[in-house]
């Protein structure tokens, strides 16, 4: 089959990967190509996927930065105190409040202008990418971008379209999907976990569940007991890096944190002060092979998320490394972690329970973690599911639901 994949344009595809959807697009494209499909990935400038043809859309990730998804508002957003200058000592309280309000409005106006420019850039970028796609004859077009224009503009494409939703329900995206569904070429819609499918089905149609499983065959693992804790993920409130540090401290374990600041205010206010704690080391994002090596040497990987995790790729990778996971029981993590067998799921927000669970992971079998990943979380199963959907799409223009 000849398959076009529309990647998220807000970041380039390449090591180190800057998000789970970006990592999976790379894995999916390479896996499909290895199975003999002709795969073209339309991606932001600077993208590279070994063994796969990447078509540069000309999209500049810097220009699209204002479209980055925020599960939780960035630190400082809406806070006048974060932007207001200090009031003169002789000024009245009323004057101080007026100054703060004016400063807040100015900051809001500036943020709005940046966002509008970013959304305009996204519209232009996806229009150009789809214009390029129309110049080729594809059997299937698969979109992974969580952007309104990526969905709306796809209705004009000549090939059947599949949209995979890597993020939780969102109002504008839901509206775009519903509008596309009433078009002359309605797309298929997939989610990345059963939990996420249930959430999205409250607001729109979901045709398939296509989990972003991991390439266990190339992930090294260790049966030997590891040491210390690892956290891997963007430094933003929903991923729980600060909580991971606190859990490791309570369990008296050193921790290595891998991830780049996604929310500068969060990194400054929540991670910065914790660097003074003993045993805390924060690393910039690293290539996946390096991250897997670190996971394989760890005693535990921590996933104390504060949102409904759509899937949980770091947890899947950890188990492929033979390393147990301690996580809050939220979102798709219940489908990734076998509670009591490959780690522990605890009540969301309960740091004490998480620290106790970290101690109990010493009894978890590392070979059992690896076997679980091989049997239930392997990329080959995801490729099988994708091929089933693609074949139905190419054969009839529609597809029956594929529930993974």
220 shares a domain with 161: no
Give a yes or no: residue 98 inside a domain.
no
160 shares a domain with 58: yes
Query: Rounded to an integer, what distance in angstroms lies between the CA atom of residue 372 and that of residue 395?
Result: 34
391 shares a domain with 347: no
- Looking at residue 111, its pLDDT comes to 65
317 shares a domain with 230: yes
Give a yes or no: residue 297 inside a domain.
yes
240 shares a domain with 356: yes
- Looking at residue 181, its pLDDT comes to 95
Give a yes or no: residue 79 inside a domain.
no
3-state secondary structure of 272: helix
- Looking at residue 36, its pLDDT comes to 97
127 shares a domain with 243: no
61: containing domain:
2-68+117-213+379-395
pLDDT in single tens digits along all 404 residues of the chain: 999 999 999 999 999 888 889 999 999 999 999 999 999 999 999 999 999 999 999 999 888 888 878 777 665 544 322 222 233 333 334 444 444 444 444 444 556 777 788 889 899 999 999 999 999 999 999 999 999 999 999 999 999 999 999 999 999 999 999 999 999 889 999 999 999 999 999 999 999 999 999 999 999 999 999 999 999 999 999 999 999 999 999 999 999 999 998 888 999 999 999 999 999 999 999 999 999 999 999 999 999 999 999 999 999 999 999 999 999 999 999 999 999 999 999 999 999 999 999 999 999 999 999 999 999 999 999 999 999 999 999 985 444 446 54
343 shares a domain with 209: no
Give a yes or no: residue 83 inside a domain.
no
Give a yes or no: residue 27 inside a domain.
yes
- Residue 247 belongs to domain with CATH number: 3.40.50.2000
Q: DSSP secondary structure string, 82-125?
A: HHPPPPPTTS-HHHHHHHHHHHHHHHHHHHHHHHHHHHHHHHHH
40 shares a domain with 142: yes
DSSP-assigned beta bridge partners for residue 230: 256, 301
240 shares a domain with 177: no
266 shares a domain with 226: yes
Total domains, the chain: 2
133 shares a domain with 37: yes
262 shares a domain with 166: no
- Looking at residue 74, its pLDDT comes to 60
Give a yes or no: residue 132 inside a domain.
yes
- Looking at residue 402, its pLDDT comes to 60
Give a yes or no: residue 106 inside a domain.
no
Give a yes or no: residue 404 inside a domain.
no
């Amino acid at each position: 089959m000849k398959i076009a994949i529309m990647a998220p344009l807000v970041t380039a595809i390449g090591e180190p990967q800057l998000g789970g959807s970006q990592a999976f697009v790379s894995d999916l494209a390479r896996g499909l190509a290895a199975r003999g499909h002709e795969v073209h990935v339309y991606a932001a400038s600077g993208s590279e996927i070994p063994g796969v043809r990447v078509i540069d859309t000309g999209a500049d990730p810097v220009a699209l930065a204002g479209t980055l998804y925020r599960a939780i508002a960035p630190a400082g957003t809406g806070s006048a105190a974060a932007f207001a200058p200090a009031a003169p000592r002789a000024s009245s309280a009323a004057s101080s409040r007026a100054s703060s309000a004016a400063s807040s409005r100015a900051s809001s106006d500036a943020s709005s202008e940046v966002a509008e420019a970013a959304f305009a850039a996204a519209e232009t970028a996806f229009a150009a990418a789809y214009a390029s796609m129309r110049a080729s004859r594809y059997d299937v077009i698969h979109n992974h971008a969580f952007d309104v224009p990526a969905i709306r503009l796809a209705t004009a494409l000549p090939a059947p379209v599949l949209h995979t939703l890597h993020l939780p329900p969102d109002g504008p995206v839901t509206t775009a999907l519903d509008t596309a569904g009433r078009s002359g070429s309605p797309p298929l819609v997939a989610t990345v976990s059963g939990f996420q499918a249930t959430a999205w089905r409250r607001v729109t149609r979901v045709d398939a569940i296509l989990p972003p499983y991991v390439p266990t065959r190339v992930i090294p693992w260790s049966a030997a007991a590891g040491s210390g804790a690892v956290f891997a993920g963007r430094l933003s409130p929903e991923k729980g890096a600060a909580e991971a540090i606190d859990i490791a401290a309570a369990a008296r374990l050193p921790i290595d944190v891998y991830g780049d600041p996604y929310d500068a205010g969060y990194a400054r206010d929540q991670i910065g002060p914790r660097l003074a704690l003993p045993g805390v080391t924060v690393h910039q994002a690293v290539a996946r092979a390096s991250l897997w090596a670190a996971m394989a040497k760890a005693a535990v990987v921590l996933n104390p998320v504060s949102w409904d995790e759509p899937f949980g790729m770091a947890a899947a990778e950890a188990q492929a490394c033979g390393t147990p996971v301690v996580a809050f029981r939220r979102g798709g993590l219940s489908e990734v972690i076998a509670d009591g067998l490959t780690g522990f799921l605890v009540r969301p927000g309960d740091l004490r329970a998480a620290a106790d669970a970290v101690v109990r992971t010493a009894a978890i079998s590392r070979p059992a973690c690896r076997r679980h990943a091989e049997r239930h979380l392997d990329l080959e199963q995801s490729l099988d599911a994708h091929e089933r959907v693609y074949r139905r799409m190419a054969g009839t223009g529609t597809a029956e639901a594929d529930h993974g």
